[in-house]
Structure 1
Amino acid sequence: METQDVLLDATAIQPHALKHEIIFSRFDSLKDGEYFILHNDHDPIPLYHHFKAIHGETFDWEYLEKGPLIWEVQITRHLPAQTEPTVGDMVADDYRRAEIFRKYGIDFCCNGNVSLQAVCDKQNLNYETIKKDLDALDSNSDQRQNTFNNWELDFLSDYIIHNHHTYVRNSIPMLNEFTQKVANVHGDHHPEVVEIAEHWAKLAQELTDHMEAEEKYLFPYVKKLVHARNNNEKLPVPGFGSIDKPIQHHLEEHDSAGQHMKRINELSNGFKIPEDACNTYSTMYKKLDEFEKDLFQHIHLENNILFHKAIDMEKQVVEG
C-alpha cells in the first residue's frame, strides 16, 4: 500500500450517511496484513463495535492519536487462517479418497467432522504417508468420480433411495439367511460368527426403520425446500420446528449403524475368510464387506452433504 493511500479522512467523507459504508469498503479492499489510518474529529469507538460485529477477530484497532481534537486509528486487516478441511469434506469433494481412508481405518462418515491431522494424532497414524497417498490420487484427476457435492438435494435424495436404500433392502434377506446359517453351523468353532449374526440382526432392523422414516418424512421435506428455493417461495415453519431435530435423530441412528458395522468388521478380522469356511461362510464375508462399503458411502452422502446443505437451505426459505 502506497504511503499516500494510507490515510482516510473521515471528516471529509460526504455525504455523512455514507461514512461507514466507505470505511468498510476501504477495509474490504485490504490484503492480509495491510492497514489504513482513519482520521477523525472524535473518538470512533462506535465504529470499533460495528467492525467487531461484522468482521469479528479479523482486524487490529490501534489508536495513534487520542484527542481531544484529533483522533487517529490504525486499522489492520488479518484474514482468518485457512481452516483444514474435515475428512468428510475431503470425501465429499472426491469420493475416491474414501478407499484410502478405509485402508487406514479412518471413519469419514459417522465421525467425518474432524481434520485429517486430528484423526492421525488420535489414531497414531502417519499423516505424511496418508497425505502422500491422497496427493497421488489427486494427480490423477482424469479418473475423478461423481462429485456428489455438486448435485441438487432433490436429485441426491432420489439417488440415495434408488441406489443405497434399494441395495440395503435387497441385501437384508440374503444376509439374514447367511448370518443365521453360519452361526448355527460354525458357531461352536467360530464363536465370533454368533456375535456377528446378533449385530447384523440389529443393524438390519435399525436400517429398515431408518430408511422408512427418511423416505416418508425427511426426503419429501428436503424436496419442498429445493422447490421453494428454485421458485423464490417461502415456506411456513414446519410442525417439527426445524430440520435440525430430525437430522440430529438420523445422525444418532447413523452412528449406531456405523458402530454395528465396525464391530462386525472387527469380529471378522476385516472379513478375512477362515481356511475351514464353507461356500456360505465365504459368501457371507464377501457380502458383508461389500455391504460395509455401500453403507459408509450411504452415510457419508447424508451426514457430510445432504444434511449440511438442507440445514442451510431451510434458513433461506422458511419464514421467521
Structure 2
Amino acid sequence: MYKIGKYTESDSMSDLINCNYSILLVISRFGISLGFGDKTIEEVCKQNDIDTKTFLIIVNMLINEESDDISINSTVSIQTILNYLQNSHKYFLQFKLPNIRRMLKAALGDRDSNVSIVIMKFYDEYVMGVTKHMQYEEKYVFPYIKDLISGNDTEGYNIEVFSKQHDNVESKLSELKNIIIKYCPVEMNNELISVLFDIFACAKDLSYHNDIEDKLLVPAIERLECNNK
C-alpha cells in the first residue's frame, strides 16, 4: 500500500522500499544491507549507526521532491551526509557512468557517423567534468568539513568558496539525451531505449545529489562555521 505524506521512524523499512523502489539506491549509499525483515526505519538506522533524522530528511526529499521546502535549521548529522555523498561518488564514478558508456557504445554499434562520434565524445567529456567535480570535493571540501568538525585549523577556506563554484553536474547529461533523441542515426532498438532510460534516471539522480549538497550540507556547514567563530 502506498503511503501518503512523509515517512517517519516508526514506518517499516521494507514498506518504504516496496512503495519506492528508487530508495534502494539510497540505502546502498548509507551502507544498509537487505535482509532487515519487518524492522522499522529507526531500528535499521540504529543497527547501522546511521542518524535516523538525517536518513528520513534525505528519503523524504527524494520521494516528495520537496528540497525547496527543507528548513536550513533542520538538525542533521554532517558525518552521515558526508558518508552518503562519498558513497554516491563511488557509485557514479566507478559503476553508473562507466556502465552507461558501455551501453551507449553498444547501442550506437560500429557506425562511424559524425553524430555517433559526437555523442561518444560529448559523453566522455561530460564524464571527465563530473570526475573533476567530485574529485575536487573529495580532495578539498570533505577534508575541510572533517577538520571543521574536529576543531582543526581551517584558515583560508570556507564553504562559501565551494558553494559559489558548485555547478550542476546533471545539466550536460540532459543535453546528451536531447542530442540522442533529436539526432541519433540509429534505428530504435532495445539497447538504445535502455540506455536512454538510464541517462534520464542518472540525470535525475545527479540533480538529487546536488540538492543534498546545496540544501542540506552547505547550510549545515555554514551554521557550524558560525558556531566556531
Going by fraction, where is helix more abundant, 1 or 2?
A: 2
Residue in structure 1 matched with residue 135 of structure 2 by the alignment: 212
Task: Kindly state the Cα deviation for residue 294 of structure 1 after the two structures are TM-superposed.
Answer: 1.7
Counterpart position of 1:167: 91
- Distance in 1, Cα, partners of 2:101 & 2:81: 29
Aligned equivalent of 1:97, options 34, 47, 64: 64
Please list, as runs of the form range in 1=range in 2, the aligned pairs for 1:283-298 lying within 5 A after superposition: 283-298=194-209
Q: Deviations over 1:250-276 (max 9, x none)?
A: x1xx33x23202212333459xx9994
**Amino acid across the alignment from 2:126:** L
Kindly tell me: are residues 214 and 220 of structure 1, through their superposed partners in 2, closer, same or farther at Cα, counting changes over 3 Å? same
How many angstroms does 1:305 deviate by?
Answer: 1.2
Distance 2:105 2:186 in 1: 20
Q: Is the 8 A contact 1:183 1:194 kept in 2?
A: no
- Structure 1's 305 and 180: CA in aligned 2 closer, same or farther, altered over 3 A? same
Note closer, same or farther for the CA distance 1:176–1:292 as it changes in structure 2 (3 Å cut): same
Distance change (3 Å), C-alpha of 1:287 and 1:94: closer
What displacement does 1:168 show?
0.4
Q: 2:210 aligns with which of 299, 311, 320?
A: 299
Give the length in aligned residue pairs. 167
Answer yes or no: is the 8 Å Cα contact 1:261–1:292 preserved in 2. Answer: yes
User: Equivalent residues in 2 for 1:115-134 (5 A)?
Assistant: none
**CA contact under 8 A between 1:179 and 1:200: conserved in structure 2?**
no
Amino acid at match of 2:156: G
8 Å contact 1:187–1:194 — kept in the other structure? yes
Cα distance in structure 2, aligned partners of 1:96 and 1:258: 19
Distance 1:248 1:154 in 2: 22
**Amino acid of the residue matched to residue 261 of structure 1?**
L
Please, what TM-score do these two structures have when normalized by structure 1?
A: 0.44
Partner residue in 2 for 1:239: 156
Distance 1:96 1:246, change over 3 A: same
Counterpart of 2:176?
Answer: 264
Q: Residue 157 of structure 1 contacts residue 219 of structure 1 at CA under 8 Å; is this kept in 2?
A: yes
Equivalent position SS for 1:220: helix
Question: Which amino acid in the other structure matches residue 300 of structure 1?
Answer: D
The answer to whether 1:281 aligns with 2:192 is: yes
- Secondary structure of 1:94's counterpart equals helix
**3-state SS of 1:277 partner:** coil
User: Residue 179 of structure 1 is aligned with which of 75, 93, 104?
Assistant: 104
Does the Cα contact within 8 Å between 2:108 and 2:192 map onto a contact in 1? no
Q: Is the 8 A contact 1:92 1:301 kept in 2?
A: no
Q: Which of the pair has the greater relative contact order for Cα pairs under 8 Å at 6+ separation? A: 2
- Equivalent residues of 2:103, 2:195 under 8 A apart: yes
- Residue 300 (structure 1) shift: 0.9
The counterpart of 1:309, out of the listed 196, 201, 220, is: 220
Residue 121 of structure 2 is aligned to residue 198 of structure 1: yes
Whole-Å separation in 2 of the counterparts to 1:224 and 1:268:
44
Whichever structure has more strand as a proportion of its residues is 1
CA distance in 1: counterparts of 2:63 and 2:212, whole angstroms: 13
* Larger Rg computed on CA atoms: 1
Aligned equivalents of 1:157 and 1:260: distance in 2? Answer: 25
> Could you say which residue in structure 1 is the equivalent of 2:147?
224
- In 2 relative to 1, CA 284–94 (structure 1 residues): closer, same or farther, beyond 3 Å? closer
Q: Match of 1:52?
A: none
* Structure 2 gap segments, 5+ residues each: 1-56
Determine helix, strand or coil for the equivalent of 2:92: helix
The answer to whether the 8 Å contact 2:122/2:176 transfers is yes
Mapped partners of 2:125, 2:154: distance in 1:
35
Q: Per-residue CA shift, 1:85-122, capped at 9, x if unaligned?
A: xxxxx999633232xx8xxxxxx7xxx6xx9xxxxxxx
SS of alignment partner, residue 155 of structure 1: helix
Q: TM-score, normalised by structure 2?
A: 0.59
Unaligned runs of 5+ in 1: 1-89, 102-107, 116-148, 229-234
Structure 1 residue 237: deviation in Å? 4.6
Give the whole-Å Cα distance in 1 for the aligned partners of 2:99 and 2:62.
28
